Structure 1
Amino acid sequence: MDLFDTHTHLDAPQFDEDRDEVIARAVEGGVSRMVNIGFNRETIPTTMALAEKYDFIYAAVGWHPVDAITMKKDDLEWIASLCQHDKVVAIGEIGLDYHWDTSPKDIQQQVFRQQIGLARELKMPIVIHNRDAHEDVVRILREEKAKDVGGIMHSYSGSWETAKICLDMGFHLSFGGPITFKNAKQPKEVLAQVPMDRLLLETDSPYLTPHPFRGKRNESAHVRLVAEAAAQIKGMDLEEIAQITTKNSLGLFGIM
């Protein structure tokens, strides 16, 4: 088994007591590579430390929309400098979050645009966080010519109509634990229609834990459960889903 967890937060405090064991379980379970997400002033350094410690862990760095109000000019320059590191494979997670009232929408949109512009300048893919902001996310991606860089719609939860727009802009759609939930009708319907060369898997651990561990801490080893659900939805073998989604991930991130 060769699985790729394209979105995890192994530096989160939930793993402080057993981080090495969690990572070892993932490897033993067939997870050959992971991308850890550094999304603010606190998590970018810990993400980079993980990427430098483990050969098979890569980094994405960016500024999360809930923290948009804290981003300074120096932070954007910091992200740009880190993108020169050979273990940094994407800018993210970036985007819009209208669920949590922590950063004004106009500031979120400004920070989002700045980071798309940086990605275009550096020719880096982007990892999109989108919560309750589908229309504005799509509009800004179009206006900022995000098609030039592409990337990932992380933990995709939107409609098939929105998915088609994202696919037309060159984005991959990534799915996690929710596709294992009995009541998650829309993500399953969308996944069933996503072209195989645009499909990615993730955990978003320690969040969005798949069935049957829902309610407990998630970890990267559980990407296998996501792969099993995706295989069932697609009517394919688990090994085939793993092989294709890992190939997609390697190509998108430019990992040899």
Structure 2
Amino acid sequence: MTTSHQLPALDCHAHIAPDVTHRQLAALGDAAVFAVTRDLDEADAVTNRHDKKLVWGIGVHPALPAAVAAYDPDRFRALLPHFAFVGEVGMDRRTPLDSGRAVFSDILTACSDRPVLISVHSTGRVSAVLDELENKRHVGVILHWFTGASRDLARALEMNLYFSVNAAMPDTVFEAIPRDRLLPETDFPARTVRAQRPGHVDTLEDRLSTVWGQGIQDVRYRLWRNLKTIAVDSGAIETLPENIADIIVAT
């Protein structure tokens, strides 16, 4: 078993440019980062990358109308087998409801029999996103930076969904989400989070330590254990990069 003091920092949702250099990645230290992409061009660009510290995702960012408009179902399905992680996807108020729903629904359909984790954005469209997730269930769903009301949170918990949280979110959210359903994120480079880099979850871990009444290392261990559960349940443990899967299995 990997002990907590040996575990690297974990970041389940951050934005990293597809052309990031090895020198730039070295600045992340030992952090394990799930790197979302914004559109299928970016996803295509990372299919041949094998970065030790990163889990690249295939995304269609719902807050970017151009990404939603350019969505190609056939291209998404052709790229999907290259990925164990899907993100960033979902729905957003900045994109027309009908087109956003159609794209998200198709992505969920494409992922229905795939062993993947799915990082879902829901800003301004929480109810619509939950409707789609209820209609097309997938055990690998992680609600990223969830801002729904208490009734939405209750509904999401009934569906056994996971949540990735960051240092910009209030303690009341950390208190409301069961500890075994919570994962860490930075959403770097979001300014409100003030993360210095992807994987910089120190502030978040400090706050969770206070809210949970546990030591920092115990918090980190709990977060990795949560990742292990969703990775095993979804089957993504079999398709994640080997070095990341090895950490998860040993936790």
TM-score when normalising by structure 2: 0.80
Mapped partners of 2:147, 2:182: distance in 1 = 14
Letter in 2 for 1:234: W
Match of 1:250 among 220, 228, 237: 228
What are the ranges of 5 or more consecutive residues in structure 2 without an aligned counterpart? 232-236, 246-251
Contact 2:55 2:85 in 1 (8 A): no
Residues 1:176 and 2:160 are matched in the alignment: no
Residues 1:10 and 2:7 are matched in the alignment: no
Contact 2:36 2:86 in 1 (8 A): no
Letter in 1 for 2:104: F
TM-fit CA distance, 1:20: 4.2
Relative to 1, partners in 2 of residues 1:249 and 1:48: Cα closer, same or farther, differing over 3 Å?
A: farther
**2:136 counterpart residue number:** 145
TM-fit CA distance, 1:222: 1.8
**1:90 counterpart residue number:** 85
Mapped partners of 1:242, 1:83: distance in 2 = 30
Letter in 1 for 2:14: T
Match of 1:54 among 51, 54, 63: 51
RMSD over aligned Cα atoms: 2.3
**2:123 counterpart residue number:** 131
Number of residue pairs aligned between Structure 1 and Structure 2: 225
Letter in 1 for 2:188: S
Mapped partners of 1:208, 1:251: distance in 2 = 31
SS at match of 2:189: coil
What are the ranges of 5 or more consecutive residues in structure 1 without an aligned counterpart? 180-186
TM-score when normalising by structure 1: 0.78
Contact 1:197 1:244 in 2 (8 A): yes
Mapped partners of 1:161, 1:252: distance in 2 = 23
Greater share of helix: 1
Contact 1:116 1:126 in 2 (8 A): no
Relative to 1, partners in 2 of residues 1:245 and 1:170: Cα closer, same or farther, differing over 3 Å?
A: same
The percent of aligned pairs where both chains have the same amino acid is 21
Greater displacement, 124-133 / 108-117: 124-133
TM-fit CA distance, 1:198: 0.8
- Deviation string 1:74-121 (CA, Å, 9 cap, x unpaired) is xx3333233323xx22222211110x2xx3210000001001111113
Residues 1:233 and 2:211 are matched in the alignment: yes
TM-fit CA distance, 1:23: 2.8
Mapped partners of 2:74, 2:196: distance in 1 = 32
Contact 1:63 1:92 in 2 (8 A): yes
Contact 2:44 2:79 in 1 (8 A): no
Mapped partners of 2:23, 2:210: distance in 1 = 29
SS at match of 1:23: helix
Letter in 1 for 2:38: F
Letter in 1 for 2:228: L
Letter in 2 for 1:250: K
**1:37 counterpart residue number:** 36
Relative to 1, partners in 2 of residues 1:39 and 1:58: Cα closer, same or farther, differing over 3 Å?
A: same
TM-fit CA distance, 1:12: 6.9
SS at match of 2:91: strand
After TM superposition, the structure 1 = structure 2 runs for residues 48-127 of structure 1, keeping only pairs within 5 Å, are 48-49=47-48, 52-65=49-62, 66=64, 67-72=67-72, 76-85=73-82, 88-98=83-93, 100=94, 103-127=95-119
**1:222 counterpart residue number:** 200
TM-fit CA distance, 1:242: 0.7
**1:184 counterpart residue number:** none
Letter in 2 for 1:154: H
Letter in 2 for 1:126: I
SS at match of 2:84: strand
Letter in 2 for 1:91: V
- Deviation string 1:184-221 (CA, Å, 9 cap, x unpaired) is xxx421211222211100011111453xxx3xx74124
**1:23 counterpart residue number:** 25
Contact 1:159 1:190 in 2 (8 A): no
